[in-house]
Amino acid sequence: MSSKKCAIIGVGYTPQGKLPDWSVRELFLEASKNAIDDAGLKTHDIDGILVELCWTDPSTQCWTLQQDLGIKVTGLCANYDSMGASGGCKVQLAQMAIQAGLCNNVLIAFVEKSATAPAVPYRMGPGPGMAHGLFGAMPGIALAAQRHKILYGTKSEQLAEVAMTFRKHACLNPIATMRKPMTLEDHQNSRMIADPLRLFDCCLVSDGGRAVVVTSAQRARSAPKRPVYIMGFGQGHVNIDLLMRHDLISTGAEKSGKTAFQMAGIEPKDVDVLGLYDATSHNVITQLEELGFCKRGEGGAFVEGGRLSLEGEFPTNTSGGMLSEVYLQGWTGIPEVVSQLRGECGERQVKDAEIGLVTNQGGFISYHSTLILRR
């Protein structure tokens, strides 16, 4: 139905890791300028802005960024929040806005500042769960991971397989935070956070920003770099509260994936490279099931034998992902898959990568976005 309507033509990075000397506002501007440069555009070419507020410092809004970039007028300027799913959702919204004729070139920007920002309460609290020691995302995701273990016997060694594979990829990525190889022993010796999740099953805590530029397929042809077309997309959202979830391991990823695959007219087997939202290694296993890469309950076995590695059938999170590259709340996937489809990944390049899939998740595995991209 909607193939090759729009494309991602620019990707912008900032320094990443621990950035005590950078403000959130500076990071937004840096990521944005770099994405606009990469797209071969000037700032005044941007006429759409979508921002996801930085949760530790929400002072930079879409209008702040428009001002800081010196853009006089836009046809779309909005803050958008479906938490960690926002990145993918905003790319979808950009395409819809461009197709509707609101704007031509949409800048999408994101900043995470959780490594050096002053501690702020997790935005989903304070709820009644805190009296029982339920703080932050990890114990919540652990409750879902345990449910998977209860139903299917998923093993810690299978979670380790995900973490070790992404670490291997990070070792080939010069900007990755974690570049020391991880053995099974390292994983099993890493301290338990919330059973069954060990430290090495959990994402990093980082600062950094990313931005992309989306434009129409027609304009994309004159971009300096190879355009990466949006072939299909979908979303799926379930109840935010864990206690209201019909089933903790049946999430919106299934609906999100089905919609995207149908729109793109392809099947999971056609995908050459994946960027899956990896808040924890558990998220990767269930998404593979829900997106149809394997049957429900078989995700643990599916990731064994290096299937997600560069040499495997489905190279996944080739930058190292949020487990080993950097935690940018889902913003590792889109830039890395775009780079793979452009053929810019050097040592970690997936040979002849043509079709990529990126997911984002937000909340307690509550919000989902799937993007299918093609060079």
Instruction: Give the interface with another protein as residue ranges (CB under 8 A).
Output: 126-136, 138-139, 142-147, 149-151, 191-197, 241-244, 248
Q: Which residues contact 341 (CB under 8 A, 6 or more apart)?
A: 226, 228, 273, 353, 354, 355, 356, 373, 374, 375
Q: Which residues contact 366 (CB under 8 A, 6 or more apart)?
A: 83, 237, 238, 239, 240, 251, 252
Provide the minimum distance between the beta carbon of 283 and another protein in the complex, in angstroms, as a whole number. 15
Is position 277 annotated as part of the catalytic site? yes
Q: What distance in Å separates the CA atoms of residue 268 and residue 290, rounded to the nearest whole number?
A: 11
Is position 327 annotated as part of the catalytic site? yes
- Cβ nearer to another protein, comparing 171 with 199: 199
> Which of 13, 152, 229, 277 does the annotation list as catalytic?
277
Q: What distance in Å separates the CA atoms of residue 308 and residue 275, rounded to the nearest whole number?
A: 10
- Cβ nearer to another protein, comparing 36 with 193: 193
Q: Is 158 exposed, middle or buried (0-12, 13-18, 19+ CB in 10 A)?
A: buried
- Cβ nearer to another protein, comparing 1 with 244: 244
DSSP string covering 80-92, please? --BTBTHHHHHHH
Q: Check whether the bond before 126 is cis (ω within 30° of 0).
A: yes
- Cβ nearer to another protein, comparing 245 with 374: 245
- Cβ nearer to another protein, comparing 84 with 139: 139
Provide the minimum distance between the beta carbon of 139 and another protein in the complex, in angstroms, as a whole number. 5
Provide the minimum distance between the beta carbon of 185 and another protein in the complex, in angstroms, as a whole number. 19
> Which of 80, 229, 327, 367 does the annotation list as catalytic?
327
Q: What distance in Å separates the CA atoms of residue 69 and residue 260, rounded to the nearest whole number?
A: 33
Provide the minimum distance between the beta carbon of 119 and another protein in the complex, in angstroms, as a whole number. 11
Provide the minimum distance between the beta carbon of 282 and another protein in the complex, in angstroms, as a whole number. 11
Query: Which residues are tagged catalytic?
Result: 277, 327
